[in-house]
Chain A
Amino acid sequence: MTDQPNFEQLYRELEEAVHRLETGDLTLDESLALFEQSVRIAEQCNGLLDQAELRVRQLTARPNGGLTADPFAG
């Protein structure tokens, strides 16, 4: 399975960046860099929200006792 960037991680990063922008003791250079970073993260988040398609896999027990998860046909 392809590993998408994790929305939750990005979202937390964004929250944290905005919080630091609002309260952090940053130099102007630092805050500009952080601001640009926030905008980039927000765009990534929006991209994920727009492009996502629900993926469904089904767990199957194997004879050896292991588990597999194969795409679920519906």
Chain B
Amino acid sequence: MPQTNVYTVLQITAYIKSLFTGDPLLADVWLSAEVSGFTQATSGHCYFTLKDASAVIKAVIWRTQAGRMTLPRNGEAVLAHGYISVYEQGGAYQFYVDHIEPAGAGRLWLEFERLRGRLEAEGLFAAERKRAIPPRPARLGVATSPTAAALRDILRTLAARWPLVEVILAPTPVQGEQAPPGIVAAIQALNRWSAEREPLDAIILARGGGSIEELWAFNDERVARAIVASATPIITGVGHETDFTIADFAADLRAATPTAAATLATPDRRDLAASLASLTNAAHRDMTDRLAAARERTAGLTRRLARLSPEARLASNRQRVDEMHRRAALAMASRLREVRERLTGQQLRLAALDPTAVLARGYAIVSLPNGAVVTSVGQVKPHDALHVRVADGAFDVTVDGR
């Protein structure tokens, strides 16, 4: 007996399971079959088999899934979706069901899945195709039935949130044979209006809740292509939260309901009022800052200006003038004193030279009749008349001899 490559049951089962879980086909399986042996355990999990004429597969619906779906009955033809994997403890492979529905509806689902796959492969649902919805629309197109509750929900929502918007309604049937061409025509008419008359910011394509058959127009390829071709961005609001249609995949934005579509298409004016207030506040704050800064700069300049003002310069000049004045006065005074002293000296010398002072001491001045002062004997001869001057007067004499 070879001793290599011997496994435990668990080991080989884990390997088999890995083959199942690694297979992409088994991870995503649609089965068309008949239900038999359906039981729901007290745990809530459901066990049954799916079979056709020549084969059988074990199937499970977990409690958490079972709560969310209509459970099948024995003998019912169904379409089921899920994955196939291995239940180790039972030594069996099983179909783990996450979606099951009656076969009639199942045909619709298959059709839906096929169309979705085809359009997706064509790139119609690509994220980069999605256009942004303008945040504050001025004019919205609405394509829906003019008599349905969906339109009232939309208009009520718009009136409450964003009454500034103008609504251009393009009426169309939203279920039945006429619905797909009607929806296509409505989308085209709105785009024409937008291009030729008044631009639309976005189009809401809506329908209220209903059965899968009633919503079927929104799974129509023509509708999907009209949405993709629309020059105006489209928001869909079709059915309820859980309903997804091809139109939803094709749209620029998918809303769960008509009301949600109106909400996504518009801002709430109360939010806008708040954002206006914050913008105004920002402007206000900035202006206050600017004024404060300007005031500060002005104050600084005023201080510098004060230091540089002519008045300041004048004051200092005045001081310099005063100084000069004081020095001039000093110089003048000393000069005067000096002059006066010299004058006094001259006066004394003058006084010394005064001839009258000599006369007072007993001297006399003798002069000839012509006025010449006699300073020599030779100037006179006997009988000459002479004039004699003394301190207090004068008299005439005659020369007696020599």
Contact (Cβ within 8 A) B280 A39:
yes
B78 within 8 A of A: no
Return the chain B residue nearest A31 by Cβ: B290
**Cα A32 to Cα B170 with chains together (Å):** 47
Which residue in A1, A8, A49, A67 is a CB contact (below 8 Å) of B189? A67
**Cα A67 to Cα B206 with chains together (Å):** 22
| A14-B279, A35-B287, A52-B163 known; A46+B273 contact, CB < 8 A | yes
Contact (Cβ within 8 A) B134 A8:
yes
Contact (Cβ within 8 A) A59 B283:
no
Q: Could you give, for residues 28-46 of chain A, a 1 whenever the CB lies within 8 Å of some chain B CB and a 0 otherwise?
A: 1001100100110010011
Contact (Cβ within 8 A) B166 A55:
yes
Q: Distance (Å) between the CB of B257 and the closest chain A CB?
A: 19
| A7-B138, A18-B283, A49-B164 known; A58+B276 contact, CB < 8 A | no
Which residues of B in the span 133-153 have a Cβ within 8 Å of any Cβ on A? 134, 136-138, 146, 152
Q: Distance (Å) between the CB of B149 and the closest chain A CB?
A: 12
**Cα A38 to Cα B279 with chains together (Å):** 9
B165 within 8 A of A: yes
Chain B residues, Cβ within 8 Å of A17: 283
Q: Distance (Å) between the CB of B95 and the closest chain A CB?
A: 51
Which residue in B134, B169, B294 is a CB contact (below 8 Å) of A59? B169
Contact (Cβ within 8 A) A56 B169:
yes
Chain A residues, Cβ within 8 Å of B136: 7-8, 11
| A7-B138, A49-B164, A52-B164 known; A67+B287 contact, CB < 8 A | no
Chain A residues, Cβ within 8 Å of B197: 67, 69
Return the chain A residue nearest B288 by Cβ: A35
**Cα A4 to Cα B280 with chains together (Å):** 22
Which residues of B in the span 152-182 have a Cβ within 8 Å of any Cβ on A? 152, 155, 158-159, 163-171
Which residues of A in the span 49-74 have a Cβ within 8 Å of any Cβ on B? 49, 52-59, 61, 67, 69, 72, 74
Return the chain B residue nearest A35 by Cβ: B287
Contact (Cβ within 8 A) A15 B279:
yes
| Most chain A CB neighbours (cut-off 10 Å) among B158, B193, B280 | B280
Chain A residues, Cβ within 8 Å of B167: 54-57, 72
Chain A residues, Cβ within 8 Å of B272: 11, 45, 49
Chain B residues, Cβ within 8 Å of A46: 273, 276
> Which range holds the interface residue count of chain A?
35 or more
| A56-B167, A57-B167 known; A21+B189 contact, CB < 8 A | no
Contact (Cβ within 8 A) A32 B193:
no
Contact (Cβ within 8 A) A32 B287:
yes
**Cα A42 to Cα B283 with chains together (Å):** 10
| A31-B287, A35-B287 known; A18+B146 contact, CB < 8 A | no
Contact (Cβ within 8 A) A54 B279:
no
Q: Distance (Å) between the CB of B183 and the closest chain A CB?
A: 14
| A32-B287, A49-B164 known; A54+B158 contact, CB < 8 A | yes
Which residue in A22, A42, A48, A54 is a CB contact (below 8 Å) of B286? A22
Contact (Cβ within 8 A) A38 B283:
yes
**Cα A42 to Cα B284 with chains together (Å):** 12
Return the chain A residue nearest B165 by Cβ: A54
Q: Distance (Å) between the CB of B115 and the closest chain A CB?
A: 29
Contact (Cβ within 8 A) A48 B168:
no
Mark B residues whose CB is within 8 Å of A: 134, 136-138, 146, 152, 155, 158-159, 163-171, 186, 189-190, 192-193, 196-198, 269, 272-273, 276, 279-280, 282-284, 286-287, 290-291, 294
Offer 19 A-B interface pairs, CB within 8 angstroms, sorted by A: A4-B164, A7-B138, A8-B134, A21-B282, A21-B283, A21-B286, A35-B283, A46-B273, A49-B272, A49-B273, A52-B164, A54-B155, A54-B167, A56-B166, A57-B168, A67-B192, A67-B193, A69-B197, A74-B155
By Cβ-Cβ distance, the 10 closest A-B pairs, closest first, are: A52-B163, A54-B159, A52-B164, A56-B167, A54-B163, A38-B283, A35-B287, A42-B280, A58-B169, A21-B286
Taking A21-B290, A32-B287 as known contacts, 14 extra A-B pairs with beta carbons closer than 8 A to each other, sorted by chain A number, are: A8-B136, A8-B137, A11-B276, A42-B283, A49-B276, A53-B159, A54-B159, A57-B167, A57-B169, A59-B186, A59-B193, A61-B189, A72-B146, A74-B155
Mark A residues whose CB is within 8 Å of B: 1, 4, 6-8, 11, 14-15, 17-18, 21-22, 28, 31-32, 35, 38-39, 42, 45-46, 48-49, 52-59, 61, 67, 69, 72, 74
